[in-house]
Amino acid sequence: MAISKQVKQKPKSYLKKAFSNWQAECNSAVLYQAFVKLERSPKQAKLYKQLADLEEKHANYWKNVLVSHNYAIPVFKPRRRTQVLIWLAKRFGLGLVLPQAAKLEQLEAEGYLEQLEPSHIQIDEQASANLLKHLGHEEFNEFVKKIILRIRRPVLLAIGGLLFFTSIATAHNVQIEGLFFGLFTASFFGAVLHYLIGKIIIPLPFGRVWCGWACWTAALLDQLPYKKSAGWLPKKWHYFRYLHFFLSLALVALMVFGFKFRQGGLGQTALFWFLVGNLVYWLVGVILDIRLKDNRAFCKYVCPISLILKQTSRPALLKVSGDASSCLSCKSQACTTLCPMDIDIPAYIKEGKRVLSNECILCLQCVAVCPPNTLEPSFGLDWGGENKLELRKLCPKTLNLKQS
């Protein structure tokens, strides 16, 4: 009765709206039915089934309205957008499409608000939108985590390779020796620019992302199979990279000021030393990584560049943070097990701090393996350099190197 009364008041626009509502509800029903088939968790699949049934019920409501006014309903065909969403969900998982589905559901709910009736559909649609938003948030987080686990190594290889070959193409020595050479000879191009941007300016807000995502030395070494090390060697080994740093500095100073060597920054000579330097780095890295069964052994004990990065990344705005209440109940400790830099992540979280270690390379492996809603990358203000590191079994459990 209520329906025919409103039809009498504005029959054409009402029927037009009823038809578009019927189409929208059918599309949503088809989409959620596809979600039911794709969802692996039975609990979650049940929720999608409830949503699909609700949308079907709404579609039938509008169908009845249209039929009661002798409106000719065509055979339903899902919209292109629905088809694309289903394809994306099949290809890449629900995590990618749920936020979009939640947005569409919210738009539908708002559309019903404007129509001011029928109220039970308005309420259902808003509830569905809220549920999808919640599921979408969780699934999207999981999707991002899976992506991090899958793409980090290829991305590292791609960016590292690109930068390496750019150095070759421009014949610049952008090894640390190239930097020293540039500074001593006041040739502020190539290496100096590279260090200024990549190792000083970027780490100030974004920490050691260079090491996690762009370094060409690590790009190769990270392809070795030793993703999880047994922990750090004792403290005396940590000074080796300082030795390396100052030996390189002394050697370049001797060449420039002692032997008046002035052609090492750019051109054939620069390229030659860049390649020789890299080969030596890689060779030492491969031997050390295999010997210690740790892909990041070179970064931990040999790389002189890490000394610059350790200082410039201290005030970084981007660090990993966590929720202490969720972390306290976790037994897996998967974060520390998979952290390539052997950082005792829970030790920071339980103290209510972000991961303040300046050995953190922002690879986000810990975020990817941690249970939902516990670890996440975050922006904030704090001073890094407080290192809580996992040591090899022969050492005390945790080494607390304050402000190292």
3-class state of residue 273 by DSSP: helix
Q: Which helix (H) or strand (E) holds 178?
A: helix 176-184
Nearer to ligand SF4, 128 or 217 (CB): 217
Nearer to ligand SF4, 263 or 378 (CB): 378
Q: Is 15 exposed, middle or buried (0-12, 13-18, 19+ CB in 10 A)?
A: middle
Comparing C-alpha atoms, which of 308, 307, 404 is closest to residue 357? 404
CB of 212 to ligand SF4, least distance (A): 6
- Which residues pair with residue 390 across a beta bridge? 398
Q: Which helix (H) or strand (E) holds 160?
A: helix 119-170
Comparing C-alpha atoms, which of 299, 289, 295, 282 is closest to residue 360? 299
CB of 18 to ligand SF4, least distance (A): 50
CB of 137 to ligand SF4, least distance (A): 18
Nearer to ligand SF4, 85 or 347 (CB): 347
**Residue 72 CB neighbour total at 10 angstroms:** 6
Q: Are 191 and 173 in contact (CB under 8 A)?
A: yes
CB of 315 to ligand SF4, least distance (A): 16
**Residue 287 CB neighbour total at 10 angstroms:** 12
Nearer to ligand SF4, 132 or 347 (CB): 347
3-class state of residue 165 by DSSP: helix
Binding region for ligand SF4 (CB under 6 A): 211, 215, 217-218, 298-299, 303, 305-306, 320, 322, 326-327, 330, 332-335, 339-341, 343, 345-346, 349, 355, 360-366, 370-371, 374-375
CB of 46 to ligand SF4, least distance (A): 27
CB of 346 to ligand SF4, least distance (A): 4
Sign, CA torsion 382/149/393/361? negative
Q: How far is CA 221 from the centre of its chain?
A: 21
Q: Which residue has the tokens 């708002």?
A: 110
Nearer to ligand SF4, 30 or 363 (CB): 363
Based on C-alpha coordinates, what's the Rg of the chain?
29
Comparing C-alpha atoms, which of 356, 328, 342 is closest to residue 389? 342
Nearer to ligand SF4, 35 or 213 (CB): 213
Listed in order, strand segments (DSSP E) in 139-267 are none
CB of 286 to ligand SF4, least distance (A): 12
Nearer to ligand SF4, 135 or 320 (CB): 320
CB of 31 to ligand SF4, least distance (A): 33
Nearer to ligand SF4, 47 or 318 (CB): 318
